[in-house]
Structure 1
Protein backbone atom coordinates (compact mmCIF):
# COMPACT_ATOMS: atom_id res chain seq x y z
CA UNK A 1 0.00 0.00 0.00
CA UNK A 2 2.77 2.42 0.92
CA UNK A 3 4.51 1.95 -2.41
CA UNK A 4 1.21 2.37 -4.29
CA UNK A 5 0.33 5.63 -2.52
CA UNK A 6 3.79 7.09 -3.14
CA UNK A 7 3.54 6.12 -6.80
CA UNK A 8 0.10 7.70 -7.13
CA UNK A 9 1.40 10.96 -5.62
CA UNK A 10 4.27 11.03 -8.13
CA UNK A 11 1.98 10.14 -11.03
CA UNK A 12 -0.65 12.78 -10.30
CA UNK A 13 1.21 15.74 -8.79
CA UNK A 14 1.56 17.44 -12.17
CA UNK A 15 -2.25 17.85 -12.24
CA UNK A 16 -1.91 20.52 -9.55
CA UNK A 17 -0.61 22.92 -12.21
CA UNK A 18 -3.99 22.78 -13.97
CA UNK A 19 -5.98 23.97 -10.92
CA UNK A 20 -6.24 27.07 -8.75
CA UNK A 21 -6.56 27.56 -5.00
CA UNK A 22 -9.82 29.05 -3.73
CA UNK A 23 -9.68 32.84 -3.42
CA UNK A 24 -13.28 33.85 -2.66
CA UNK A 25 -12.36 33.21 0.98
CA UNK A 26 -9.23 35.40 1.08
CA UNK A 27 -7.37 33.33 3.68
CA UNK A 28 -7.55 30.20 1.50
CA UNK A 29 -5.39 31.77 -1.20
CA UNK A 30 -2.38 31.22 1.09
CA UNK A 31 -2.54 27.44 0.54
CA UNK A 32 0.31 25.83 -1.41
CA UNK A 33 -1.12 25.05 -4.86
CA UNK A 34 1.33 22.22 -5.57
CA UNK A 35 0.65 20.33 -2.31
CA UNK A 36 -0.74 16.81 -2.67
CA UNK A 37 -1.08 14.23 0.09
CA UNK A 38 -3.02 11.11 1.00
CA UNK A 39 -3.68 8.96 4.06
CA UNK A 40 -5.45 5.61 4.19
CA UNK A 41 -6.74 3.84 7.31
CA UNK A 42 -7.64 0.17 6.84
CA UNK A 43 -9.91 -2.12 8.86
CA UNK A 44 -6.99 -3.21 11.07
CA UNK A 45 -6.31 0.42 12.02
CA UNK A 46 -3.10 0.59 10.03
CA UNK A 47 -2.32 4.04 8.59
CA UNK A 48 -0.55 4.50 5.26
CA UNK A 49 0.51 8.00 4.20
CA UNK A 50 2.31 9.58 1.25
CA UNK A 51 3.10 13.00 -0.20
CA UNK A 52 2.23 16.14 1.74
CA UNK A 53 0.07 14.21 4.18
CA UNK A 54 0.98 16.42 7.13
CA UNK A 55 -0.33 19.59 5.41
CA UNK A 56 -2.94 21.31 7.58
CA UNK A 57 -6.03 22.75 5.92
CA UNK A 58 -9.55 23.76 6.87
CA UNK A 59 -12.23 21.14 6.43
CA UNK A 60 -14.79 23.41 4.71
CA UNK A 61 -17.60 21.38 3.07
CA UNK A 62 -16.12 18.04 4.15
CA UNK A 63 -17.75 18.92 7.48
CA UNK A 64 -21.25 18.67 6.04
CA UNK A 65 -21.86 14.90 6.36
CA UNK A 66 -20.62 14.99 9.96
CA UNK A 67 -22.84 17.87 11.11
CA UNK A 68 -25.73 16.26 9.24
CA UNK A 69 -25.30 13.16 11.40
CA UNK A 70 -25.38 15.31 14.54
CA UNK A 71 -28.59 17.04 13.42
CA UNK A 72 -30.16 13.68 12.56
CA UNK A 73 -29.31 12.37 16.03
CA UNK A 74 -30.74 15.55 17.58
CA UNK A 75 -34.03 15.69 15.67
CA UNK A 76 -34.46 12.52 13.61
CA UNK A 77 -34.67 12.15 9.81
CA UNK A 78 -38.35 13.07 9.46
CA UNK A 79 -37.93 16.55 10.95
CA UNK A 80 -34.56 17.27 9.34
CA UNK A 81 -35.84 16.40 5.88
CA UNK A 82 -38.79 18.72 6.28
CA UNK A 83 -36.17 21.49 6.26
CA UNK A 84 -33.81 20.19 3.58
CA UNK A 85 -34.34 17.85 0.64
CA UNK A 86 -32.62 14.69 -0.56
CA UNK A 87 -31.97 15.40 -4.22
CA UNK A 88 -28.88 16.49 -6.21
CA UNK A 89 -29.08 20.01 -7.61
CA UNK A 90 -26.92 19.94 -10.73
CA UNK A 91 -25.84 23.45 -9.69
CA UNK A 92 -22.68 24.80 -8.02
CA UNK A 93 -22.45 24.36 -4.24
CA UNK A 94 -23.08 28.07 -3.56
CA UNK A 95 -25.87 28.57 -6.10
CA UNK A 96 -29.06 30.33 -5.00
CA UNK A 97 -30.90 29.76 -8.27
CA UNK A 98 -33.32 27.00 -7.19
CA UNK A 99 -34.09 28.26 -3.69
CA UNK A 100 -36.90 30.50 -4.92
CA UNK A 101 -38.06 28.46 -7.92
CA UNK A 102 -38.80 25.10 -6.30
CA UNK A 103 -41.92 24.41 -4.24
CA UNK A 104 -41.74 24.00 -1.31
CA UNK A 105 -38.90 26.49 -1.12
CA UNK A 106 -36.06 24.69 0.68
CA UNK A 107 -32.47 23.59 -0.07
CA UNK A 108 -32.43 20.51 -2.25
CA UNK A 109 -29.82 18.65 -0.14
CA UNK A 110 -27.57 19.13 2.91
CA UNK A 111 -24.31 19.02 0.93
CA UNK A 112 -24.80 22.44 -0.71
CA UNK A 113 -24.20 25.59 1.31
CA UNK A 114 -27.86 26.49 1.75
CA UNK A 115 -28.64 22.99 2.99
CA UNK A 116 -25.66 22.94 5.35
CA UNK A 117 -26.70 26.28 6.82
CA UNK A 118 -30.17 24.83 7.43
CA UNK A 119 -28.56 21.81 9.11
CA UNK A 120 -26.39 24.08 11.29
CA UNK A 121 -29.57 25.76 12.54
CA UNK A 122 -30.72 22.37 13.88
CA UNK A 123 -27.72 21.61 16.12
CA UNK A 124 -28.92 21.57 19.73
CA UNK A 125 -27.37 23.74 22.44
CA UNK A 126 -28.24 26.64 24.71
CA UNK A 127 -25.89 28.96 22.78
CA UNK A 128 -23.34 28.88 19.98
CA UNK A 129 -20.51 27.94 22.34
CA UNK A 130 -22.32 24.80 23.47
CA UNK A 131 -23.31 23.95 19.89
CA UNK A 132 -19.74 24.38 18.62
CA UNK A 133 -18.40 22.36 21.54
CA UNK A 134 -20.73 19.51 20.52
CA UNK A 135 -19.60 19.76 16.90
CA UNK A 136 -15.92 19.79 17.87
CA UNK A 137 -16.42 16.88 20.27
CA UNK A 138 -17.88 14.80 17.45
CA UNK A 139 -15.10 15.71 15.02
CA UNK A 140 -12.43 14.97 17.63
CA UNK A 141 -13.97 11.59 18.42
CA UNK A 142 -14.31 10.55 14.77
CA UNK A 143 -10.86 11.84 13.75
CA UNK A 144 -9.22 10.38 16.89
CA UNK A 145 -7.54 13.76 17.32
CA UNK A 146 -8.39 15.46 20.63
CA UNK A 147 -6.47 18.59 19.55
CA UNK A 148 -8.68 19.37 16.55
CA UNK A 149 -9.69 23.02 16.61
CA UNK A 150 -10.82 26.05 14.60
CA UNK A 151 -8.43 28.04 12.42
CA UNK A 152 -9.29 31.50 13.70
CA UNK A 153 -7.92 33.44 10.72
CA UNK A 154 -9.91 31.36 8.20
CA UNK A 155 -13.04 31.64 10.34
CA UNK A 156 -12.76 35.44 10.48
CA UNK A 157 -12.05 35.57 6.73
CA UNK A 158 -15.17 33.53 5.98
CA UNK A 159 -17.26 35.62 8.33
CA UNK A 160 -16.09 38.86 6.72
CA UNK A 161 -16.67 37.79 3.11
CA UNK A 162 -19.62 35.38 3.40
CA UNK A 163 -22.21 37.62 1.82
CA UNK A 164 -23.65 34.96 -0.49
CA UNK A 165 -24.11 32.58 2.44
CA UNK A 166 -25.63 35.45 4.40
CA UNK A 167 -28.11 36.15 1.59
CA UNK A 168 -29.13 32.48 1.46
CA UNK A 169 -29.57 32.30 5.23
CA UNK A 170 -31.85 35.32 5.39
CA UNK A 171 -33.90 33.92 2.52
CA UNK A 172 -34.18 30.60 4.35
CA UNK A 173 -35.48 32.37 7.45
CA UNK A 174 -37.97 34.32 5.33
CA UNK A 175 -39.49 31.09 3.99
CA UNK A 176 -39.45 29.39 7.39
CA UNK A 177 -36.69 26.85 6.78
CA UNK A 178 -34.55 28.22 9.60
CA UNK A 179 -35.56 29.92 12.82
CA UNK A 180 -33.70 32.08 15.29
CA UNK A 181 -30.81 34.52 14.95
CA UNK A 182 -29.45 34.30 11.41
CA UNK A 183 -26.05 35.78 12.26
CA UNK A 184 -25.54 33.26 15.07
CA UNK A 185 -26.46 30.38 12.74
CA UNK A 186 -24.03 31.69 10.12
CA UNK A 187 -21.33 32.11 12.74
CA UNK A 188 -21.71 28.47 13.72
CA UNK A 189 -21.55 27.43 10.07
CA UNK A 190 -18.40 29.50 9.44
CA UNK A 191 -16.73 27.99 12.51
CA UNK A 192 -17.71 24.49 11.44
CA UNK A 193 -16.10 25.01 8.04
CA UNK A 194 -12.93 26.42 9.64
CA UNK A 195 -11.99 23.32 11.63
CA UNK A 196 -8.35 22.57 10.77
CA UNK A 197 -7.47 18.97 9.84
CA UNK A 198 -4.91 16.76 8.11
CA UNK A 199 -5.33 13.85 5.69
CA UNK A 200 -4.97 11.43 8.58
CA UNK A 201 -7.82 13.11 10.49
CA UNK A 202 -10.11 12.75 7.48
CA UNK A 203 -9.03 9.16 6.82
CA UNK A 204 -10.09 8.24 10.37
CA UNK A 205 -13.44 10.01 9.84
CA UNK A 206 -13.86 8.13 6.57
CA UNK A 207 -13.07 4.84 8.30
CA UNK A 208 -15.70 5.61 10.93
CA UNK A 209 -18.28 5.94 8.16
CA UNK A 210 -16.91 2.86 6.37
CA UNK A 211 -17.34 1.03 9.69
CA UNK A 212 -21.02 2.02 9.82
CA UNK A 213 -20.73 4.30 12.84
CA UNK A 214 -18.61 2.03 15.02
CA UNK A 215 -15.44 3.28 16.71
CA UNK A 216 -12.51 1.30 15.37
CA UNK A 217 -10.84 -0.84 18.01
CA UNK A 218 -13.61 -0.65 20.61
CA UNK A 219 -16.59 -1.56 18.44
CA UNK A 220 -18.68 1.14 20.12
CA UNK A 221 -21.71 2.09 18.02
CA UNK A 222 -21.17 5.83 18.42
CA UNK A 223 -23.59 6.90 15.65
CA UNK A 224 -26.56 4.72 14.64
CA UNK A 225 -25.90 2.72 11.48
CA UNK A 226 -28.94 4.08 9.64
CA UNK A 227 -27.68 7.64 10.14
CA UNK A 228 -24.25 6.81 8.69
CA UNK A 229 -26.05 5.20 5.75
CA UNK A 230 -27.88 8.47 5.08
CA UNK A 231 -24.62 10.43 5.25
CA UNK A 232 -22.81 8.06 2.87
CA UNK A 233 -25.69 8.10 0.40
CA UNK A 234 -25.55 11.89 0.25
CA UNK A 235 -21.78 11.63 -0.27
CA UNK A 236 -22.38 9.43 -3.33
CA UNK A 237 -25.17 11.53 -4.84
CA UNK A 238 -24.09 15.05 -3.86
CA UNK A 239 -20.68 14.90 -2.15
CA UNK A 240 -18.56 16.13 -5.05
CA UNK A 241 -20.78 19.11 -5.88
CA UNK A 242 -22.05 19.11 -9.45
CA UNK A 243 -19.37 16.57 -10.45
CA UNK A 244 -20.87 13.87 -8.22
CA UNK A 245 -22.23 11.76 -11.06
CA UNK A 246 -18.93 11.69 -12.90
CA UNK A 247 -17.07 10.87 -9.68
CA UNK A 248 -19.49 8.00 -8.98
CA UNK A 249 -18.71 6.55 -12.40
CA UNK A 250 -14.95 7.16 -12.37
CA UNK A 251 -14.24 6.37 -8.70
CA UNK A 252 -17.41 4.83 -7.28
CA UNK A 253 -17.00 5.44 -3.55
CA UNK A 254 -18.77 7.74 -1.06
CA UNK A 255 -16.76 10.97 -0.88
CA UNK A 256 -17.05 14.58 0.23
CA UNK A 257 -14.87 17.42 -1.00
CA UNK A 258 -14.19 20.92 0.28
CA UNK A 259 -12.72 24.09 -1.21
CA UNK A 260 -9.80 23.83 1.22
CA UNK A 261 -8.61 21.02 -1.05
CA UNK A 262 -9.70 18.10 1.11
CA UNK A 263 -11.56 14.95 0.05
CA UNK A 264 -12.83 12.42 2.59
CA UNK A 265 -13.79 8.96 1.35
CA UNK A 266 -15.44 5.99 3.03
CA UNK A 267 -15.04 2.62 1.31
CA UNK A 268 -17.61 0.45 3.13
CA UNK A 269 -16.04 -2.32 5.22
CA UNK A 270 -12.60 -1.60 3.75
CA UNK A 271 -10.96 1.77 4.43
CA UNK A 272 -11.16 5.47 5.06
CA UNK A 273 -9.23 7.85 2.81
CA UNK A 274 -8.18 11.45 3.32
CA UNK A 275 -6.72 13.52 0.48
CA UNK A 276 -5.41 17.08 0.33
CA UNK A 277 -4.72 19.05 -2.83
CA UNK A 278 -5.61 22.77 -2.59
CA UNK A 279 -5.48 23.34 -6.36
CA UNK A 280 -9.13 23.03 -7.41
CA UNK A 281 -10.90 22.32 -10.68
CA UNK A 282 -13.77 24.44 -11.98
CA UNK A 283 -16.31 22.52 -9.88
CA UNK A 284 -14.43 23.23 -6.62
CA UNK A 285 -12.85 19.78 -6.19
CA UNK A 286 -9.14 19.01 -5.74
CA UNK A 287 -8.01 18.51 -9.32
CA UNK A 288 -5.09 16.22 -8.55
CA UNK A 289 -6.90 14.58 -5.63
CA UNK A 290 -9.74 13.42 -7.86
CA UNK A 291 -7.29 11.98 -10.41
CA UNK A 292 -5.40 10.19 -7.66
CA UNK A 293 -8.61 8.67 -6.30
CA UNK A 294 -9.55 7.49 -9.79
CA UNK A 295 -6.24 5.64 -10.01
CA UNK A 296 -6.50 4.24 -6.47
CA UNK A 297 -10.02 2.97 -7.08
CA UNK A 298 -8.98 1.22 -10.27
CA UNK A 299 -5.83 -0.28 -8.73
CA UNK A 300 -7.69 -1.72 -5.71
CA UNK A 301 -11.13 -2.27 -7.31
CA UNK A 302 -12.83 -0.05 -4.72
CA UNK A 303 -16.01 0.94 -6.57
CA UNK A 304 -19.15 0.00 -4.63
CA UNK A 305 -21.13 -0.35 -7.86
Structure 2
Protein backbone atom coordinates (compact mmCIF):
# COMPACT_ATOMS: atom_id res chain seq x y z
CA UNK A 1 0.00 0.00 0.00
CA UNK A 2 2.70 2.48 0.98
CA UNK A 3 4.61 1.77 -2.23
CA UNK A 4 1.51 2.48 -4.31
CA UNK A 5 0.94 5.76 -2.48
CA UNK A 6 4.58 6.75 -2.97
CA UNK A 7 4.17 6.12 -6.71
CA UNK A 8 1.17 8.46 -6.76
CA UNK A 9 3.12 11.19 -4.95
CA UNK A 10 6.15 10.78 -7.23
CA UNK A 11 3.97 10.82 -10.36
CA UNK A 12 2.18 14.04 -9.41
CA UNK A 13 4.94 16.10 -7.81
CA UNK A 14 5.71 17.66 -11.21
CA UNK A 15 2.40 19.53 -11.10
CA UNK A 16 3.60 21.68 -8.21
CA UNK A 17 5.54 23.70 -10.80
CA UNK A 18 2.30 24.69 -12.52
CA UNK A 19 0.82 26.55 -9.56
CA UNK A 20 1.78 29.15 -7.00
CA UNK A 21 1.63 29.50 -3.23
CA UNK A 22 -0.98 31.86 -1.78
CA UNK A 23 0.29 35.43 -1.55
CA UNK A 24 -2.69 37.43 -0.32
CA UNK A 25 -1.83 36.28 3.20
CA UNK A 26 1.83 37.38 3.36
CA UNK A 27 2.95 34.67 5.78
CA UNK A 28 1.80 31.93 3.38
CA UNK A 29 4.36 33.12 0.82
CA UNK A 30 7.01 31.30 2.87
CA UNK A 31 5.70 27.84 1.90
CA UNK A 32 7.77 25.63 -0.38
CA UNK A 33 5.64 25.08 -3.48
CA UNK A 34 7.41 21.78 -4.23
CA UNK A 35 6.11 20.12 -1.07
CA UNK A 36 3.63 17.29 -1.52
CA UNK A 37 2.50 14.90 1.20
CA UNK A 38 -0.22 12.32 1.75
CA UNK A 39 -1.71 10.38 4.65
CA UNK A 40 -4.47 7.77 4.61
CA UNK A 41 -6.04 6.27 7.73
CA UNK A 42 -8.42 3.37 7.07
CA UNK A 43 -11.24 1.98 9.19
CA UNK A 44 -8.87 -0.57 10.72
CA UNK A 45 -6.78 2.38 11.97
CA UNK A 46 -3.91 1.57 9.62
CA UNK A 47 -1.91 4.73 8.92
CA UNK A 48 -0.03 5.24 5.64
CA UNK A 49 2.11 8.35 5.22
CA UNK A 50 4.25 9.29 2.21
CA UNK A 51 5.96 12.34 0.78
CA UNK A 52 6.30 15.55 2.81
CA UNK A 53 3.92 14.24 5.44
CA UNK A 54 5.77 15.73 8.42
CA UNK A 55 5.32 19.33 7.24
CA UNK A 56 3.01 21.54 9.29
CA UNK A 57 0.69 24.00 7.59
CA UNK A 58 -2.30 26.11 8.56
CA UNK A 59 -5.70 24.54 8.06
CA UNK A 60 -7.33 27.61 6.48
CA UNK A 61 -10.66 26.72 4.79
CA UNK A 62 -10.38 23.03 5.64
CA UNK A 63 -11.58 24.25 9.04
CA UNK A 64 -14.99 25.25 7.65
CA UNK A 65 -16.71 21.82 7.81
CA UNK A 66 -15.49 21.37 11.37
CA UNK A 67 -16.77 24.70 12.69
CA UNK A 68 -20.01 24.08 10.81
CA UNK A 69 -20.42 20.81 12.74
CA UNK A 70 -19.84 22.62 16.03
CA UNK A 71 -22.24 25.44 15.12
CA UNK A 72 -24.93 22.92 14.15
CA UNK A 73 -24.52 21.10 17.46
CA UNK A 74 -24.65 24.44 19.30
CA UNK A 75 -27.64 25.94 17.48
CA UNK A 76 -29.52 23.31 15.49
CA UNK A 77 -30.20 23.18 11.75
CA UNK A 78 -33.10 25.63 11.65
CA UNK A 79 -31.18 28.50 13.22
CA UNK A 80 -27.94 27.88 11.30
CA UNK A 81 -29.64 27.65 7.91
CA UNK A 82 -31.73 30.74 8.57
CA UNK A 83 -28.41 32.64 8.35
CA UNK A 84 -26.50 30.62 5.74
CA UNK A 85 -27.76 28.91 2.59
CA UNK A 86 -27.21 25.40 1.26
CA UNK A 87 -26.44 26.01 -2.41
CA UNK A 88 -23.19 26.19 -4.42
CA UNK A 89 -22.37 29.79 -5.29
CA UNK A 90 -20.43 29.25 -8.52
CA UNK A 91 -18.24 32.18 -7.44
CA UNK A 92 -14.72 32.40 -5.98
CA UNK A 93 -14.52 31.65 -2.25
CA UNK A 94 -13.89 35.30 -1.34
CA UNK A 95 -16.49 36.89 -3.62
CA UNK A 96 -18.71 39.63 -2.20
CA UNK A 97 -20.93 40.18 -5.25
CA UNK A 98 -23.93 38.01 -4.37
CA UNK A 99 -24.15 39.42 -0.85
CA UNK A 100 -25.11 42.70 -2.48
CA UNK A 101 -27.38 41.48 -5.29
CA UNK A 102 -29.21 38.66 -3.45
CA UNK A 103 -32.00 39.49 -1.00
CA UNK A 104 -31.99 38.50 1.77
CA UNK A 105 -28.19 38.80 1.80
CA UNK A 106 -27.44 35.43 3.37
CA UNK A 107 -24.27 33.73 2.09
CA UNK A 108 -24.94 30.91 -0.37
CA UNK A 109 -23.24 28.22 1.74
CA UNK A 110 -20.92 27.72 4.75
CA UNK A 111 -17.88 26.78 2.64
CA UNK A 112 -17.32 30.25 1.16
CA UNK A 113 -15.71 32.90 3.35
CA UNK A 114 -18.86 34.93 3.93
CA UNK A 115 -20.77 31.86 5.07
CA UNK A 116 -17.91 30.60 7.20
CA UNK A 117 -17.65 33.94 9.02
CA UNK A 118 -21.35 33.76 9.89
CA UNK A 119 -20.91 30.16 11.08
CA UNK A 120 -17.97 31.19 13.30
CA UNK A 121 -20.15 33.91 14.85
CA UNK A 122 -22.58 31.20 16.00
CA UNK A 123 -20.09 29.24 18.12
CA UNK A 124 -21.27 29.38 21.75
CA UNK A 125 -19.24 30.86 24.59
CA UNK A 126 -19.38 33.70 27.10
CA UNK A 127 -16.44 35.46 25.40
CA UNK A 128 -13.99 34.96 22.53
CA UNK A 129 -11.50 33.08 24.70
CA UNK A 130 -14.10 30.50 25.70
CA UNK A 131 -15.35 30.22 22.11
CA UNK A 132 -11.87 29.61 20.77
CA UNK A 133 -11.08 27.13 23.54
CA UNK A 134 -14.21 25.15 22.66
CA UNK A 135 -13.36 25.30 18.97
CA UNK A 136 -9.73 24.29 19.43
CA UNK A 137 -10.65 21.42 21.76
CA UNK A 138 -13.12 20.17 19.13
CA UNK A 139 -10.37 20.19 16.49
CA UNK A 140 -8.03 18.41 18.91
CA UNK A 141 -10.57 15.68 19.64
CA UNK A 142 -11.41 15.08 16.00
CA UNK A 143 -7.73 14.92 15.00
CA UNK A 144 -6.63 12.93 18.05
CA UNK A 145 -3.86 15.52 18.47
CA UNK A 146 -3.86 17.26 21.86
CA UNK A 147 -1.10 19.60 20.74
CA UNK A 148 -2.94 21.37 17.94
CA UNK A 149 -2.64 25.16 18.23
CA UNK A 150 -2.56 28.24 16.06
CA UNK A 151 0.42 29.49 14.11
CA UNK A 152 0.66 32.95 15.65
CA UNK A 153 2.56 34.48 12.73
CA UNK A 154 -0.07 33.37 10.22
CA UNK A 155 -2.87 34.51 12.52
CA UNK A 156 -1.39 38.00 12.81
CA UNK A 157 -0.71 38.10 9.06
CA UNK A 158 -4.35 37.27 8.34
CA UNK A 159 -5.57 39.78 10.89
CA UNK A 160 -3.46 42.58 9.42
CA UNK A 161 -4.39 41.91 5.79
CA UNK A 162 -7.92 40.46 5.98
CA UNK A 163 -9.65 43.53 4.59
CA UNK A 164 -11.82 41.61 2.14
CA UNK A 165 -13.13 39.37 4.92
CA UNK A 166 -13.62 42.50 7.01
CA UNK A 167 -15.69 44.08 4.23
CA UNK A 168 -17.87 40.95 3.99
CA UNK A 169 -18.41 40.86 7.72
CA UNK A 170 -19.48 44.49 7.99
CA UNK A 171 -21.84 44.07 5.04
CA UNK A 172 -23.36 41.00 6.70
CA UNK A 173 -23.67 42.95 9.95
CA UNK A 174 -25.45 45.82 8.17
CA UNK A 175 -27.93 43.35 6.69
CA UNK A 176 -28.71 41.81 10.10
CA UNK A 177 -27.20 38.43 9.16
CA UNK A 178 -24.10 38.60 11.37
CA UNK A 179 -24.65 38.95 15.11
CA UNK A 180 -22.15 40.25 17.64
CA UNK A 181 -19.09 42.47 17.42
CA UNK A 182 -17.61 42.23 13.93
CA UNK A 183 -13.98 42.55 14.98
CA UNK A 184 -14.39 39.88 17.66
CA UNK A 185 -15.99 37.51 15.17
CA UNK A 186 -13.20 38.12 12.67
CA UNK A 187 -10.53 37.59 15.31
CA UNK A 188 -12.04 34.18 16.07
CA UNK A 189 -12.27 33.38 12.35
CA UNK A 190 -8.63 34.30 11.73
CA UNK A 191 -7.57 32.08 14.65
CA UNK A 192 -9.70 29.24 13.30
CA UNK A 193 -7.99 29.42 9.91
CA UNK A 194 -4.54 29.61 11.52
CA UNK A 195 -4.72 26.28 13.36
CA UNK A 196 -1.60 24.34 12.36
CA UNK A 197 -1.97 20.72 11.22
CA UNK A 198 -0.29 17.89 9.34
CA UNK A 199 -1.74 15.53 6.74
CA UNK A 200 -2.21 12.96 9.50
CA UNK A 201 -4.41 15.37 11.43
CA UNK A 202 -6.58 15.93 8.35
CA UNK A 203 -6.77 12.20 7.62
CA UNK A 204 -7.93 11.49 11.19
CA UNK A 205 -10.65 14.15 10.99
CA UNK A 206 -11.67 12.72 7.62
CA UNK A 207 -11.84 9.25 9.16
CA UNK A 208 -14.16 10.51 11.91
CA UNK A 209 -16.48 11.82 9.21
CA UNK A 210 -16.15 8.55 7.27
CA UNK A 211 -17.35 6.75 10.40
CA UNK A 212 -20.29 9.14 10.70
CA UNK A 213 -18.91 11.05 13.66
CA UNK A 214 -17.54 8.22 15.79
CA UNK A 215 -13.89 8.28 16.91
CA UNK A 216 -12.19 5.02 15.93
CA UNK A 217 -9.83 5.10 18.91
CA UNK A 218 -12.23 5.84 21.76
CA UNK A 219 -15.58 4.84 20.30
CA UNK A 220 -16.91 8.23 21.36
CA UNK A 221 -19.47 9.99 19.19
CA UNK A 222 -17.94 13.39 18.42
CA UNK A 223 -20.40 14.54 15.74
CA UNK A 224 -24.09 13.66 15.48
CA UNK A 225 -24.71 11.26 12.59
CA UNK A 226 -27.17 13.60 10.86
CA UNK A 227 -24.72 16.49 11.13
CA UNK A 228 -21.94 14.29 9.74
CA UNK A 229 -24.14 13.61 6.72
CA UNK A 230 -24.78 17.34 6.23
CA UNK A 231 -21.05 18.10 6.44
CA UNK A 232 -20.14 15.49 3.83
CA UNK A 233 -22.87 16.75 1.51
CA UNK A 234 -21.47 20.28 1.65
CA UNK A 235 -17.99 18.90 1.02
CA UNK A 236 -19.25 17.29 -2.20
CA UNK A 237 -21.23 20.28 -3.46
CA UNK A 238 -19.08 23.19 -2.24
CA UNK A 239 -15.87 21.85 -0.71
CA UNK A 240 -13.51 22.58 -3.59
CA UNK A 241 -14.69 26.16 -4.16
CA UNK A 242 -15.98 26.84 -7.68
CA UNK A 243 -14.27 23.68 -8.96
CA UNK A 244 -16.50 21.41 -6.84
CA UNK A 245 -18.53 20.02 -9.73
CA UNK A 246 -15.45 19.10 -11.75
CA UNK A 247 -13.88 17.53 -8.65
CA UNK A 248 -17.05 15.52 -7.95
CA UNK A 249 -16.94 14.12 -11.49
CA UNK A 250 -13.21 13.40 -11.60
CA UNK A 251 -12.69 12.31 -7.99
CA UNK A 252 -16.07 11.75 -6.31
CA UNK A 253 -14.72 11.93 -2.74
CA UNK A 254 -16.27 14.39 -0.25
CA UNK A 255 -13.38 16.81 0.26
CA UNK A 256 -12.48 20.26 1.53
CA UNK A 257 -9.52 22.33 0.42
CA UNK A 258 -7.72 25.33 1.89
CA UNK A 259 -5.30 27.93 0.57
CA UNK A 260 -2.63 26.63 2.95
CA UNK A 261 -2.42 23.69 0.54
CA UNK A 262 -4.43 21.15 2.50
CA UNK A 263 -7.14 18.84 1.22
CA UNK A 264 -9.19 16.69 3.59
CA UNK A 265 -11.08 13.77 2.07
CA UNK A 266 -13.56 11.38 3.66
CA UNK A 267 -14.63 8.12 2.02
CA UNK A 268 -17.70 6.83 3.91
CA UNK A 269 -17.06 3.60 5.80
CA UNK A 270 -13.55 3.31 4.29
CA UNK A 271 -10.95 5.98 5.12
CA UNK A 272 -9.90 9.51 5.83
CA UNK A 273 -7.40 11.28 3.56
CA UNK A 274 -5.06 14.20 4.17
CA UNK A 275 -3.09 15.85 1.37
CA UNK A 276 -0.68 18.80 1.51
CA UNK A 277 0.62 20.71 -1.49
CA UNK A 278 0.85 24.51 -1.09
CA UNK A 279 1.17 25.20 -4.83
CA UNK A 280 -2.36 26.28 -5.79
CA UNK A 281 -4.34 26.45 -9.01
CA UNK A 282 -6.38 29.51 -9.99
CA UNK A 283 -9.38 28.30 -7.96
CA UNK A 284 -7.32 28.14 -4.75
CA UNK A 285 -6.99 24.34 -4.61
CA UNK A 286 -3.73 22.41 -4.29
CA UNK A 287 -2.83 21.79 -7.93
CA UNK A 288 -0.83 18.59 -7.32
CA UNK A 289 -3.10 17.61 -4.43
CA UNK A 290 -6.11 17.44 -6.73
CA UNK A 291 -4.13 15.19 -9.09
CA UNK A 292 -3.22 12.95 -6.14
CA UNK A 293 -6.89 12.71 -5.17
CA UNK A 294 -7.82 11.82 -8.75
CA UNK A 295 -5.29 8.98 -8.84
CA UNK A 296 -6.34 7.70 -5.42
CA UNK A 297 -9.97 7.63 -6.49
CA UNK A 298 -9.23 5.73 -9.70
CA UNK A 299 -6.67 3.33 -8.21
CA UNK A 300 -8.79 2.30 -5.22
CA UNK A 301 -12.28 2.91 -6.66
CA UNK A 302 -13.18 5.50 -4.03
CA UNK A 303 -15.80 7.62 -5.80
CA UNK A 304 -19.08 7.65 -3.90
CA UNK A 305 -21.01 7.97 -7.16
TM-score after normalising by structure 2: 0.99
Query: Which deviates further from its counterpart, 215-224 or 130-139?
Result: 215-224
Matched residues in 1 for 2:143 and 2:134: separation? 14
Partner of 1:119: 119
Q: Could you tell me how far apart the structure 2 residues matched to 1:67 and 1:132 are?
A: 11
CA distance in structure 1 between the aligned counterparts of 2:152 and 2:220, rounded to whole angstroms: 32
What is the CA–CA distance in structure 2 between the aligned matches of 1:170 and 1:139, rounded to whole Å?
27
Give 1:218 shift: 2.8
Show structure 1 runs of 4+ deviating over 6 A: none
Report the Cα distance in structure 2 between the residues aligned to 1:274 and 1:155, rounded to whole angstroms: 22
User: 5+ residue gaps in structure 1?
Assistant: none
- Tell me the distance in 1 between the aligned counterparts of 2:231 and 2:36: 26
Shift of 1:222: 1.8
CA root-mean-square deviation: 0.5
Within 5 A, what are the aligned runs for 1:113-262? 113-262=113-262
Distance 2:299 2:7 in 1: 12
Shift of 1:104: 1.4
Q: Secondary structure at the match of 2:98?
A: coil
Asked if 1 retains the 8 angstrom alpha-carbon contact of 2:9 and 2:36, the reply is yes
Residues 21-76 of structure 1: CA deviation (Å, up to 9, x unaligned): 00000000000000000000000111001000011000000000000000000000
1:84 lines up with 2:84 in the alignment = yes
* Unaligned ranges ≥5, structure 2: none
Distance in 2 of aligned mates of 1:224 and 1:89: 26
Q: How far apart are the structure 1 equivalents of 2:94 and 2:222?
A: 31
| More moved, 96-105 vs 246-255 | 96-105
Using structure 1 for the length normalisation, give the TM-score. 0.99
- 1:102 shift after superposition: 1.1
1:71 corresponds in structure 2 to 71
Decide whether the 8 Å contact of 2:142 with 2:222 is kept in 1: no
Residue 41 (1) aligns with residue 26 (2): no
2:290 match: 290
User: Which residue does the alignment assign to 1:268?
Assistant: 268
Q: Distance in 1 between matches of 2:222 and 2:286?
A: 30
2-side partners of 1:231 and 1:94: how far apart?
20
Q: What is the distance in 1 between the residues matched to 2:64 and 2:242?
A: 16
Cα distance in structure 2, aligned partners of 1:131 and 1:2? 39
Q: For 1:84 and 1:110, how far apart are their aligned partners in 2? A: 6
Query: Is the contact between residue 151 and residue 195 of structure 2 (CA under 8 Å) also seen in structure 1?
Result: yes
Aligned-pair CA distance for 1:219: 2.2
Q: Distance in 2 between matches of 1:249 and 1:134?
A: 36
